[in-house]
Amino acid sequence: MVTTLARRFLPLALLSGAAAAQVPPLSAADSEPAKLGWMQGSPPAIDKQVRFDDASMWFFPRTRWSFSHWRELVPTAAIPRAGPPSALPRAERRDLDAIRFTPLGATAPMTWEQSLAANYTDGIVVLHRGRIVHERYFGAGGPANQHIAFSVTKSFVGTLAETLIAEGRLDPARTIASYVPELATSGFGDATVRQALDMRTGIAFVEDYVARGTELTDPTRMSIAGGAAPAAPGYQGATTTPAFLAGIGKRGGHGGDFAYLTPNTQAVAWVLERITGQSIAAQISARYWQPLGMEEDAAIQVDRVGTGFAGGGMTAAMRDMARFGEMIRLGGKWQGRQIVPPAAVRAILAPGDAAAFAAANYPGLDGGSYSSFWWHWASGQTMAVGIHGQGIYIDPKAEMVIARFASFPVATNRVINPTTLPAYDAMAAALAGK
């Protein structure tokens, strides 16, 4: 008995490389959690467990279960909804599964339905002119399930920041340290809020989720501090997010090329909490989850002192993510009420500095840009992007919003985008009747 329930400890140094180590990974169909039996039984057999304390929650194919069961693995703060859910009319079209497109870099076409499997989609909602035209669930979730959104969280923080800027409560030209003195001696010390919002600081952090080696990677150290990964015996690093941020050094100057570094979002979130006196969870609830009439509560993973993981810790239900994207598409309005100030929406939807983005040589995103923790495509779309395939895609011209949760085996968008972006374009064309 004790043997089968003994605590295991996987080498955390290998954590970030674990997904990539699965070559080839199981397919979406073969990695369905129900099929693999994760966490079934009381207690689950040791080879069917998905745990925090051995880091197994981070290893594909267990991620296909853990990404939909986040609150069962880590402490989370609620982002409460309020009142009855707002209407989200349905106008489903059965023909959309058969849409065909050619993945980037491929020659053979693929159907929309096949792309959902190729992307290990857990849930997807397509809104056209505010109506649900397509909705599917796979994996361990369903419409009411809260899936981890990872870096889609950042775009909520960016929207909060642009809102405070529009309200005159946040000056993006001021330094982060002028709001949060605890960061004065860190790499953030002389960075402005705008430089962090646009991911153009020179902090010393390597955002690599597929590196392999014997040392803890920066994202793993960040996860340990944020309470999302276990600390091995003898661990001497930061045990809270504020302490982790304060300990980040400087690699180069600020205001240079685009460099996607998650601590930038956490620093901005700290600024927002200092200005408002409210946690990020409370701000998202008061500004979005309650007034938008969300169907389900959302939540955010918290560290040992209650700090929400603003860089990637939100969990939410699929349709609520779609509601948020649709509200942005509609200029910040939702069912007659202005939710986000028009100036903030303009700031969110406007492209960022294309030259700074191009210099960073982000593969597959030619002509794109990044600003206010949102991605911008050259063809006019704006997107919230989370690792492993999470996203809120806003296409103003096509009057289309797509929200997706996924558990793609590899933690890099360079292998997810090829079957995502052309599929979204094909969906837009189909909805336009082209």
For binding to a copy of itself (CB under 8 A), which residues are involved?
1-2, 5, 7, 39-40, 42-44, 49-53, 69, 71-78, 80, 82, 84, 144, 146, 182, 233, 238-240, 242-243, 246-247, 270, 273-274, 277, 279, 296-297, 299, 302, 304-307
> What is the smallest separation between the CB atom of 51 and a copy of itself, expressed in angstroms?
6
Q: Which helix (H) or strand (E) holds 292?
A: none
In whole angstroms, what is the distance from residue 323 CA to residue 346 CA?
18
Please report the DSSP string for 387-419 in residue order. GGGEEEEEETTTTEEEEEEE--SSS-GGGTGGG
> What is the smallest separation between the CB atom of 88 and a copy of itself, expressed in angstroms?
15
Closest CB to a copy of itself among residues 142, 255: 142
In whole angstroms, what is the distance from residue 400 CA to residue 325 CA?
9
> What is the smallest separation between the CB atom of 58 and a copy of itself, expressed in angstroms?
15
- Angle between helices 318-329 and 152-166 in degrees, nearest 10: 40
Q: Is residue 27 annotated as a catalytic residue, yes or no?
A: no
Closest CB to a copy of itself among residues 76, 163: 76
Q: Centre a 10 Å sphere on the Cβ of residue 102 and count the other Cβ atoms it contains.
A: 15
Token representation of residue 318: 């699929």
Closest CB to a copy of itself among residues 273, 326: 273
In whole angstroms, what is the distance from residue 367 CA to residue 111 CA?
26
> What is the smallest separation between the CB atom of 246 and a copy of itself, expressed in angstroms?
5
Please report the DSSP string for 32-52 in residue order. -HHHHTTT-BTTBPGGG---S
R_g of the chain, CA atoms, integer Å: 21
Closest CB to a copy of itself among residues 235, 260: 235
Instruction: Please identify which of the residues 66, 115, 151, 371 carries the catalytic annotation.
Output: 151
List Cβ neighbours of 6 (8 Å cut-off, separation of 6 or more): 46
Q: Centre a 10 Å sphere on the Cβ of residue 106 and count the other Cβ atoms it contains.
A: 12
Closest CB to a copy of itself among residues 238, 347: 238
- Structural contact between residues 283 and 268, judged by C-beta atoms closer than 8 angstroms: no
> What is the smallest separation between the CB atom of 75 and a copy of itself, expressed in angstroms?
5
> What is the smallest separation between the CB atom of 312 and a copy of itself, expressed in angstroms?
18
In order of 57, 69, 408, the CA distances from 50 in angstroms are 5, 10, 17
Closest CB to a copy of itself among residues 291, 422: 291
**What is the set of active-site residues?**
151
